Structure 1
């Protein structure tokens, strides 16, 4: 439809839709020469790059399955994912050369392609691609065919490979376009890692299908983000709460021209209401959504028209999905009562790659997917995420949801970030321990924070211990790694 419109901007390079068509067709022919056929897996390892999207599209042209890998992982973790997925091709960025060199010999022959500086036995990406055949490729692909294998964060045990079908991606894209009013003149900043489902499925793919422009950041950097917003007149961006908090803490915040931004969207973890209001005070539309890798990822979304009235809510179910909040016996909760979130719809994964046990455990009768997240519903059906089921702890017989405590603690002006876990206690069974990162130039003690919580939270919810730390451990997708915090205790 619009071959000469810009599809991707990466550094100083601009690629049109016609460029992407030709390049992905050439790359697909080279993958076919390497033996990739319908259902075969092609992996990508590296920071955000236009080659990420090219590799994904080329794999799909052949009916193959794309496997994006977290470039922050160590060689043994990457080796497990390559082995478990059965990938036959690995394309990687120069930042991951040391990791690739450390990989053990795979049980399945692996064609390795380097974006730059290939080692002996490897291919050079640009040379390899340019020599491909530009003739159209026509491999039938069905909606139920697997498009992606996305490995979960793996904060406990081995990560699982969540499969997403082409239908999952399409229905999620429809949901985004309905909820966000994505326009054909969209200029979207891809600032979160593309191996994470939100950056890929919530921003890049919806922008691409509308003929918009995606400006790809190799990695997150606050100053570069400000520069790109100004240079390209960015209209839409997604980020996790920590990214938006960092932007608001920057010395450039007060004077920056952010007038081009039409939508700011966040997910991955609950966003403090105080942070949302910081953006709203600048006249910016800040919307939350809720979802998981397994739901492609959108399950609920708060539309712009509700972003002020329902601050802190993750919204209502996306148009093409159903969401319930249930008790342990799978009956629906009352208004305000915490329960587990269940999701059903054409955006929901069919299961985990080569893991029937995990797949069976994730679904209940009727095809409802168990999120493992705790939420409440208000009288209008808006969802409020409370916490992960596994993060809840019991103090003196009372359930404590750390996310609730974190939300209130984050309202203190000296607190930049906070994470709360349950730790053993001889008297109460468990009590809270908070890890607090202070705002630059701010000072606060544990006693001051506990006093701040008095009257705002029940006494049993107030953390017994408060540790002031420089930073919090996070996964590649920006989520807190609470098991690491427990190891510090």
Structure 2
């Protein structure tokens, strides 16, 4: 892709200045594209006056708000690198996350003031308040010539969830953002006429990029909620204010349990899902209400969109994440190009990160010698070219010499009428080396006998795949993206 691209906020304001870019859910305030650009110009100037310049890292700790995106665009204009922090984490964890990247200041909202102060004091950096410092800068915004920005210059950093150790800072660039916008818009048929809702946390790639930033680049509008409020989101869907929706499986599960789920015109909404596979029963449930929920797959390292199922085959190819989208190349390690087979999914393209910030070893380990990103996911390509994610390489275990993929077992368990959600991990076994342990969330109003579930599973799975232990739980420990924290499940084993 290009070496330089236009300043995103300025270019969008030039094309559609009077169109609405954002709506604040709590206040109803509407922000036009020209207002966003003016505000970003003001913040860019204010950050400079505060002593920040190109290459400096700026941490931010806040709930979802329009000001976050204004600050994000201001950082693009100036070359300052934004570092969104997870407000769910305690101060010591945030300090541990932030110290390696060397932030120069920390911006916070009112809800995170105490936490931000504690983190900033530990890191010996100043704090800036969104509603005072930043608001003043926004109000002083003026027109400025549209700049061009280096396409692969670090724009913001997203920290991995830390499920496999200390979080790494994944570099995000303007080129990645445009590649993601192209990948997701051609897959969903998204246009400037579309509307979406921003509620996933902004310290996660889905909060920024699914679908808020791509929709901004296309000239569409997003309603911004401070955080996930099922009732508020459901009302927006019922009122027809959302034409493109993205959620993780847990969100679709919560919707499916609502008595008025049929009151939404699902057929008029483009529904995407990621973070984990959407179980087949849920796909069929929403299909019965007119929705074709499209499974997809991506990573923080890929901006994130790589795969998304096409609507025409969503029910025919249940379990598939579709094909690699326009600006992403994909190969299966050890499988001939275009041929059916199973191997690690490896990726290359404009949407792939240049690496991890100030971490050469992690960057080197993440790529093959010929420059392909190792995903750590095992994929299967069928005879029609559709990709099915089999499981994470690290989650696979060997029982009595046989490979077992927990995701396969979970798919079967999720088909049981009394199971709302299943998660499977391995546990040591003296005879077989490793065996499966299943954690089950029971569907509300149902009663589930673990022994009966194991018997039911034996008719559908090879004996070595049937979990030896079944534990009923209220919920799973999850990441901000809704993924199950399997290391924490292992810690729950006796």
- What is the TM-score of this pair, normalised by structure 2? 0.92
Segments of structure 1 that go 5 or more residues without pairing to the other structure are 117-122
* Residue of structure 2 equivalent to 1:361: 365
Between the aligned partners of 2:31 and 2:338, the Cα distance in structure 1 is 51
Q: Aligned partners of 1:43, 1:182: CA distance in 2, in Å?
A: 31
Per-residue CA deviations over 1:241-277 (Å, capped at 9, x if unaligned) read: 11111111112213x2235743000111111121111
C-alpha distance in 1, partners of 2:81/2:398? 43
SS of the aligned residue for 2:106 comes to strand
Match of 1:55 among 68, 71, 79: 71
Distance 2:187 2:152 in 1: 24
How far residue 318 of structure 1 moved from its aligned partner, in angstroms, is: 0.7
Matched, 1:5 2:14: no
Whole-angstrom CA distance in 2 between matches of 1:333 and 1:408 = 30
Aligned residues: 477
Q: 2:57 corresponds to which residue?
A: 41
TM superposition shift of 1:47: 1.8
Conserved 8 A contact 2:438-2:469: yes
2:32 and 2:147 mapped to 1: Cα distance? Answer: 24
Rounded to whole Å, the distance in 1 between the matches of 2:372 and 2:93 is 30
Shift of 1:336: 6.1
Out of 218, 222, 237, the residue aligned to residue 210 of structure 1 is 218
SS at match of 2:297: strand
Question: 1:461-472 alignment to 2 at 5 Å?
Answer: 461-472=465-476
Name 2:90's counterpart in structure 1. Answer: 74
1:436 aligns with 2:443: no
2:108 is the alignment partner of 1:127:
no
The CA RMSD over aligned residues, in Å, is: 1.8
Match of 1:188 in 2: 196
In the alignment, is the contact (CA less than 8 A) between 2:267 and 2:292 conserved in 1? Answer: no
Q: Name the TM-score, length of structure 1 as normaliser.
A: 0.93
Unaligned runs of 5+ in 2: 1-14
Cα drift, residue 114 of structure 1? 2.2
CA–CA distance in 2 between the matches of 1:394 and 1:432? 10
How far apart are the structure 1 equivalents of 2:339 and 2:399? 24
Query: What pairs up with 1:105-116 in 2 under 5 angstroms?
Result: 105=121, 110-116=125-131
Within 2, Cα distance between the matches of 1:144 and 1:321? Answer: 16
Equivalent in 176, 183, 206 of residue 175 of structure 1: 183
Matches within 5 A, 1:2-401: 2-10=16-24, 11-12=26-27, 13-103=29-119, 105=121, 110-116=125-131, 124-130=133-139, 132-136=140-144, 140-231=148-239, 233-254=241-262, 256-259=263-266, 261-327=268-334, 332=336, 337-401=341-405
Structure 1's 313 and 259: CA in aligned 2 closer, same or farther, altered over 3 A?
A: closer
Contact 2:279 2:411 in 1 (8 A): yes
- 8 Å CA contact retained: 2:177, 2:214: no
- 2:22, 2:268 → 1: CA distance? 18
Deviation string 1:94-135 (CA, Å, 9 cap, x unpaired) is 23223223226355x63312235xxxxxx54323432x3424
Q: Distance in 1 between matches of 2:322 and 2:442?
A: 30
Residues in 2 aligned to 1:177 and 1:61: alpha-carbon distance in whole angstroms: 24
Q: Within 1, Cα distance between the matches of 2:114 and 2:50?
A: 24
Give yes or no for contact 1:46–1:96 (8 Å, CA) kept in 2: yes
Distance 1:45 1:260, change over 3 A: farther
Partners of 1:29 and 1:301 in 2: CA distance = 39
Q: 1:396-447: per-residue Cα shift (whole Å, max 9, x none)?
A: 1111111111111001111111111000011111111101011111111111
> Which of 415, 420, 423 pairs up with 1:419?
423
Which residue is equivalent to 1:120? none
8 Å CA contact retained: 1:83, 1:106: no
Alignment check: 8 A CA contact 1:175 1:320 kept: yes
In 2, the alpha carbon distance for the partners of 1:252 and 1:53 equals 33
